[in-house]
């Protein structure tokens, strides 16, 4: 199971790196055509924006670990570990429920957006924003997995905070 997780994480990192390189390349092309050739290319600004949207939601869905999120955890840390576990379960369940409840409306809205296209590239908005549906599903599944880990025998490892994070 660990080998599968490692390979999936590597694949997610590879996709993020490819998106970032493509975004950066388009940015450099825009700078070159605008300031060196004095003839800017129109599609690069739109492409950079689209790539940025995908990078943010892709990384948040598949690469950002729970302990890497910015949190305000003074009250959480003041609790004893057993109560932290209960609070973490409750909050994670609520997060999962919220994202699952939002999923049908999210899918409905994103599919509705097929009627619009980006102004320069002409990419349909349902394709552009489909990453948000993937993000919502990933967060809901991540919440389910976190609750599973919090209910397991090794739940203490799930309660690590940003202060004691080990890369």
Over residues 102-154, the pLDDT tens digits come to 999 999 999 999 999 999 999 999 999 999 999 999 999 999 999 999 998 88
**Rounded Cα–Cα distance for residues 35 and 2 (Å):** 49
**Rounded Cα–Cα distance for residues 91 and 76 (Å):** 11
Q: Hey, where are the domains in the chain?
A: 1-64, 70-167
**Rounded Cα–Cα distance for residues 68 and 135 (Å):** 17
Over residues 104-113, the pLDDT tens digits come to 999 999 999 9
pTM: 0.85
pLDDT for 167: 41
Over residues 50-92, the pLDDT tens digits come to 999 999 999 999 998 877 777 777 887 788 888 989 998 999 9
74's tokens:
């003074």
Q: What value, to the nearest 5°, has the Cα angle with vertex 144 and ends 62 and 86?
A: 120
Query: Sign of the CA dihedral 122, 127, 129, 131?
Result: negative
Average pLDDT taken over every residue of the chain:
90
pLDDT for 161: 55
């Amino acid at each position: 199971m660990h080998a599968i997780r490692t390979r999936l994480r590597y694949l997610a990192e590879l996709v993020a790196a490819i998106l970032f390189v493509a975004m950066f390349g388009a940015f450099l092309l825009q700078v070159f055509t605008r300031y060196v050739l004095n003839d800017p290319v129109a599609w690069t600004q739109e492409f950079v924006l689209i790539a940025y949207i995908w990078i943010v939601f892709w990384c948040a869905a598949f690469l950002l670990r729970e302990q890497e999120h910015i949190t305000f955890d003074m009250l959480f840390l003041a609790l004893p570990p057993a109560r932290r576990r209960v609070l973490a379960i409750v909050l994670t369940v609520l997060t999962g429920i919220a994202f699952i409840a939002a999923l049908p409306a999210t899918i409905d809205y994103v599919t509705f957006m097929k009627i619009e296209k980006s102004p320069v590239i002409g990419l349909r908005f349902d394709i552009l924003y489909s990453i948000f549906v993937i993000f919502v599903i990933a967060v809901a599944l991540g919440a389910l997995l976190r609750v599973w880990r919090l209910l397991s025998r090794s739940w203490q490892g799930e309660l690590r905070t940003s202060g004691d994070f080990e890369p």
